[in-house]
Amino acid sequence: MTIQKPENNKPEQNKQENEKNIDKRIDQSINADAKTIITNPEPALAAAAQAEQDKIEGEQPKSNTVPSMANSKVKDASQFGKVAVICGGSSNERSVSLDSGAAVLQALQNQGVDATHFDPKEQDITELRQYDRVFNVLHGRGGEDGLLQGVLQWFNIPQTGSGILASALGMDKVRTKQLWQGCGLSTAPFSLLTADTDWQQVVNMLGLPLIIKPVHEGSSIGMTKVNNLDELPAAYATAVQCGDVVMAERWITGREFTIVIIDDEAYPVIRLEPADITNFYDFEAKYNRNDTSYYIPCGLSAADEKHLQALSLAAFRAVDAKGWGRIDAMQDEAGNFWLLEINTVPGMTSHSLVPMAAKARGMDFDSLCWHILAQTL
C-alpha cells in the first residue's frame, strides 16, 4: 500500500492570513485618515509650523543671545578658507546685485575673511573651483533661479542660501503660488496673461485694481498697477519686455509686510509704507528713494505678528528654502493675510530689509554676513 505524504498547506495558509491582516490594517489606516478632515488648511499649516517651533523652544529654552562672531560655531576667519562673493551677473538686477556684493565683501573683509569679488559676467564660471565656498548675492536670473546653485553643486562648493529646487521654484512666481495653494496657504488670486488674453475676462475674474508682473523677475522690475481696463494692454507690454511669461494678480488693499527668515527663525516683522500709499513698493522705492517708511515694531498685535511669522515659516518650508530668505505678504482691510512672494537671495544694500530686520534683532551688518556665511560649514 502506498502512503501519500500529506501536502503541507500551512505556509500557504499563513501567507494568505498575513495578506488578509495587512489588507485589514491598510483599510483601517485609510478609514482613519478619511476621518481626518482639515476644514481650513492655511491656519492648520501655520499652526503646525508654530507647533514645531514651540516644540523646539520647549526642548531648548529660547536664548536672547544675538548671533555674532563671539558665539558663532566659526571662531576664526581662516575656517572659511577662500570665499567668493558672487554678484553682478547679466540680469535686470545687476546694479542692485553689485551694491549687495560690495557691502557683503566689505563686511567679510572687515572681519579678516579671505573674500574676493566674483562677477560671472566678467569671469569664467569655472574659476569658482579655486574657492572653498560662495556667498551668493547674485540677484535675479542666473543667480537666484537654480542655475548657479546647480553649477556649485556640480563643483561641490558650499554656498549660502537655498539649493536648486527652492531657488527655481522661488524665482517662478506662478509655481510658487501654485505650491502654496496646494499646501492650503493663502496667496492672492492670479491669472496668466498672453497677447491674446481677453482683458475683460481677467477683470471679471480678479476685479480691479490689478498688479501686472513678469513671472521670472525680482525687485519689482516690470510691474505695473492697473486701475482701469484700458490700462491692461500697456501694462502687459511693459511686463513682457522682461520675459515671455506675465501674470495678473488681484490687488490687495491694506498693509504690506516683509518677514525675514534666518536659520528657520522668523525675525521681527517689518511693515512697509511707500510715500504714495495708493501705489506699491516698486524698484525706485526699494533702492533709490528715501521717502518709504519702515516700521519695526510693525504695528500688528502680538498674536497677529506671531501668526504672520508662523504662516511665513510654513511658506518658506513649503518651497524647501534654506539658510536665509524673505517672505512678502499683505494684510487686507478685513485683517486676512495673503502671501505674495518669496525671495531666496534678498538684497543686502543700505536700503535692504534683511539688514533692517537683523538690526531689530540686535545684529549688526558685519555679524549678519558672518552668520550667513557660517551656514555653509
DSSP category for residue 224: E
pLDDT in tens, 132-161: 999 999 999 899 999 999 999 999 999 999
Query: What pLDDT does residue 289 have?
Result: 60
pLDDT in tens, 213-272: 998 876 567 889 999 999 999 999 999 988 779 999 999 999 999 999 999 999 999 999
Residue in the structure block whose three cell numbers are 523652544? 57
Query: What pLDDT does residue 41 have?
Result: 43
pLDDT-derived band of residue 351, with 50, 70 and 90 as boundaries? confident
Instruction: Calculate the average pLDDT of the chain.
Output: 84
User: Which residues are CB-contacts of 250 (< 8 A; sequence separation ≥ 6)?
Assistant: 188, 189, 190, 206, 207, 210, 211
pTM (2 decimals)?
Answer: 0.79
Alpha helices, DSSP H only, in 78-213? 94-110, 147-155, 164-171, 173-182, 199-206
Of 151 and 35, more confident: 151
In the numeric block, which cell numbers belong to residue 367?
Answer: 555679524
The DSSP code sequence of 178-216 is HHHHHTT--B--EEEE-TT--HHHHHHHH-SSEEEEETT
pLDDT in tens, 280-317: 544 554 445 667 899 999 999 999 999 999 999 999 99
Closest CA to 331 of 207, 189, 186: 186
pLDDT-derived band of residue 61, with 50, 70 and 90 as boundaries? very low
What the chain holds in terms of domains, given with CATH numbers, is 77-161 (3.40.50.20), 190-250 (3.30.1490.20)
Query: What pLDDT does residue 58 have?
Result: 42
pLDDT in tens, 329-347: 999 999 999 999 999 999 9
Decide if pLDDT at 67 tops 70: yes
Query: C-alpha angle with apex 80: 78 to 81, nearest 5 degrees?
Result: 70
Of 274 and 148, more confident: 148
- Residues with catalytic roles: 93, 219, 287, 326, 328, 341, 343, 347
Query: What pLDDT does residue 30 have?
Result: 29
Query: What pLDDT does residue 11 have?
Result: 45
